[in-house]
Structure 1
Amino acid sequence: MLTPLTVALAVAALALAAWCGHAAYRDQPTKDWHFIGMGVVSLLALVQLVWGVVRLAAGDQPADGSLIFVSYLVGVVCCVPVVGLVSLTERTRWGSLTVTAGAVVLAVLQVRLYDIWGGGTGG
C-alpha cells in the first residue's frame, strides 16, 4: 500500500469533515464548494482503489487477506458519494453533519486499510 496516499486521503477527509462541520455549526447546508471538496476526496479514493488493485495484480498480498482489503477499498470509494447524495436530499445543517460524519468514517477506514495491509510492511 502506498502510505503517503493513505495519509493524504485521511488528511483530506478530515479537512472535509472540519469544513462541513463548520458549515453545520453555522446552521448552513452543504454548498457547491463543499461538493468540490467531496469530489477531490472521492478522486483520491479512486486513485487509492486503482493503486490497491494494481498492487494486488502485481502479486503483493495484504496481511489480512485480499477480499477484506478490496472490500474496504470499495467502501472507501463509496463513502463520500453516498453522504454527498444524502446531503443533497437534506438541505439543512443536518446534511452538512452527514458529510462530516462520512468524512470522519473515511479517515477511520484509512487507518483500518493501513492495518489490513500490514502496517505498511506488506510491500
Structure 2
Amino acid sequence: MFTALTVAIGAASLALAAWCGFAALRDQPTKDWHFIGMAVVTVLALAQLVIGLVRLAQGEKPDEGGVIFTAYLVGAFAAVPAAGLLSLSERTKWGSVTVAAGAVVLAVLEVRLHDIWGGSGA
C-alpha cells in the first residue's frame, strides 16, 4: 500500500477525533467546521480506496488476501461518513462523541490495512 497516505489518514483521523472530542467536552454538537474536517478525512480515504483498488487491478497482492483488503478499504472509506450522518440525527454533544469514535475507528482500520498489505511501503 502507500504508507505515507496511510499515515496521513491516521493522523488526520486522530486530529478529527481530538477536535470532536474537545467539542463534546464543551457540550457542543458537530458544527459546519467539523463537517469540513470530516470531508477532508473522507477525501483522503477515497484516495486510498482508489489507489488500493488500482494496485489490486494491476496484480499486486496483499499478504492476507485481496477480499479482506478490499473489505477493510471500503470500511475505512465508510467509517467517518457514517459517523457524520449519525451525528446529524443527534444534535447534542453525543453527535460529536459519535464522530470522534468513528475517527478513532478509522485510525485503527488504517493500522490494520497496513498490516494486511504486508507492512511494506511503496
TM range (shorter): over 0.9
RMSD: 0.8
How many residue pairs were aligned?
122
- Structure 2: give runs of 5+ residues left out of the alignment: none
Tell me, yes or no, if structure 1 residue 45 matches structure 2 residue 24: no
Equivalence for 1:111: 111
Structure 1 counterpart of 2:92, one-letter code: T
Alignment of 1:46-65 (within 5 A): 46-65=46-65
The percentage of aligned residue pairs carrying the same residue is 68
Structure 2 counterpart of 1:8, one-letter code: A
Distance 1:114 1:106 in 2: 12
Tell me, yes or no, if structure 1 residue 34 matches structure 2 residue 34: yes
Alignment of 1:78-97 (within 5 A): 78-97=78-97
Structure 2 counterpart of 1:119, one-letter code: G
- Structure 1: give runs of 5+ residues left out of the alignment: none
Q: CA deviation at 1:83?
A: 0.4
Structure 2 counterpart of 1:55, one-letter code: R
Distance 2:38 2:81 in 1: 7
Q: Which runs of 4+ in 1 moved over 6 A?
A: none
1:8-41 CA-partner distances (Å, limit 9, x unpaired): 0000000000000000000000000000000000
